[in-house]
Structure 1
């Protein structure tokens, strides 16, 4: 809020009155404005969305976690977690922090209930600047591809004949095509075809979908309860996305329970590291470092005050009203001589 004081000197007495007035009002205005512009953390970073734990490097509140993953997760009021990517928003099935990966479900992909009814779909893609990557544990199955445009052949036989073009073939004899997860016989007896191909990039996935009716992604889930080696991995529908966990000394110090047990976060304006200690205390070191000054830049955590609040406006108004009442009989108000350009 900018205040414009117009000044028209008429006499030494008038100058003295104006100076006295400014010296009187400034002590009232500055503390009120300054107080209202200091942010207060609205709440501690949420640690879950529904039944899915949310911890570093992720955050569902702005300023929590690592800035590498800012704005990629969204938690609805109903506790449904979604992943944002350039190709859309996808329900998150689970997040693992020990074997760092996210499992998402793409509702546009083919599933067992579709059978021979292939719906229009669009390719799944990621923003690589967020340190996310498609896991090599994914397999992609394509259905009803045009053999005039896509090489659809049993991969072992094709690779023996054309080793230099082996990577470009879509394997029609793949294990997953013959044993579709949860519905192994969904396409048997029909006219639909299936082949397995791992796209090297989003562009190659788009190209495949240009000549194929639909596709689906299958990831291999580790089955810890498996009794036999061949049962150690179980195929399931979904997209596995691997992520990195940026580890820094400052974050480890911040999380150390002996040093206060803070939450790693960042300044939403500069993206510099912050240790979030609750009750609006955002420190650049760790929570029990009493020698460090608190970080007080506007907009550190979503929900902080970024402008003069209603309480501040009322406070300023009360101060101005009091001064007007005291100076009601004053003949001149700082050189403002008419109602057209009066400040008060």
Structure 2
């Protein structure tokens, strides 16, 4: 009997210490969530409005980008995932590569392909600087004919045929003589659906965008393979205040993963306005958590705190205490 009491007395301080450590760990993890906003994936910088961590950036681009284990940035679209070649924030656009589209090594051996598509509910749109080349099209279903030169400057005055006299068909980037000119034509789809319809009657396609190199005209643009996608940068007063260096060193614009309301992510915690908003600090540190750690960390912390309260009540009252089951309603959409 005495031996049992000795063991029980030794367990009390150990249990209390464990509970304190659990509560401290939960608080530390919650306060440090703003550090989850990674600023790069491989060599590509990640800035507002984009993010690769949930709760960072703008909710308009939530789940759009992903960073693979090999540090490769990818764009998610209804037609699949596409490697991102580069991102520009000054001239807002991204360039993706479609591994299914034609490349120089294919020559006239056309592989099965699939049309690229965008989610029309996002703030992405295909850039007018894209030009699409279609190969080995059925002339019974697609109007393939040469267009006059003035059509390049005034396309609205020309028909919607696929131009077999296109400059790019005659001067394919990197591999000018990979195919014969008669099997290539250039077409600028008015919508993504047009691209899908064209590929029903053509063997393959390639997208070429005109990249600005900053040289004097007419040599200021060079053609490169890829799909340029333009995007909008939502600018709000709250985001500007959050990034303001005079408001506590500047924060990162983010959002609450449950409500998608704006959050300013700072070293001190997550605030509703800016990094010097200490009045709301205590509340926000404990409530607003970003990324997919909401469910796991909240449940873990709740169990630790609940266990501590249960243990103290048991020691003081020396009577069993029935605790209700605490559920976690936080869900990521």
Rounded Cα–Cα distance in structure 2 between residues aligned with 1:74 and 1:183? 32
**How far apart are 1:67 and its partner, in Å?**
0.8
Taking structure 2 as the reference length, the TM-score comes to: 0.79
Which of 266, 275, 283 aligns to 2:271? It is: 283
Deviation at 1:41, TM superposition (A): 4.3
Gaps of 5+ in 1: 1-27, 337-342
* Number of equivalent positions: 293
What is the DSSP-based 3-state SS (H/G/I as helix, E as strand, rest coil) of the residue aligned with 2:193?
helix
Q: Does 1:76 align with 2:103?
A: no
Is residue 87 from structure 1 mapped to residue 79 from structure 2 by the alignment?
yes
Q: 1:157 to 1:66 in 2, by over 3 A?
A: closer
Aligned residue number for residue 219 of structure 1:
209
Closer/same/farther in 2, CA of residues 259 and 106 from structure 1, 3 Å limit = same
Contact residue 119 and residue 214 of structure 1 kept, 8 A: yes
1:306 pairs, out of 295, 298, 320, with 295
Deviation at 1:77, TM superposition (A): 2.2
Pair 1:82–1:157, CA change in 2 (3 A)? closer
- Residues 269 and 300 of structure 1 are in contact (CA less than 8 Å); yes or no, is this contact kept in structure 2? no
**DSSP-derived class of the 1:99 partner:** coil
Distance 1:52 1:212 in 2: 34
1:14-72 CA-to-partner distances (Å, cap 9, x unmatched) read xxxxxxxxxxxxxx9xxx8xx88x95443241111111011111111111111111110
Select the structure with the greater relative contact order (CA < 8 A; seq sep ≥ 6): 1
Q: d(CA) in 1 for partners of 2:104 and 2:93?
A: 25
Larger CA Rg, structure 1 vs 2 = 1
CA displacement 1:266-300 (0-9 Å, x = unmatched) = 11111111111124x11111101334454357564
Distance 1:311 1:164 in 2: 63
- Give the corresponding residue for 1:174: 166
Q: Distance in 1 between matches of 2:167 and 2:79?
A: 29
Change in CA separation of 1:147 and 1:276 when aligned onto 2, cut-off 3 Å: same
Deviation per residue, 1:98-133 (Å, 9 max, x gap): 111001111010010110111111111111222100
Secondary structure, counterpart of 1:110 in structure 2: coil
**Residue 187 (structure 1) shift:** 0.5
**Please, what TM-score do these two structures have when normalized by structure 1?**
0.77
Report how far residue 79 of structure 1 moved: 1.2
Q: Of Structure 1 and Structure 2, which has the larger fraction of its residues in helix? A: 2
Aligned match for 1:253, one of 241, 244, 251 = 241
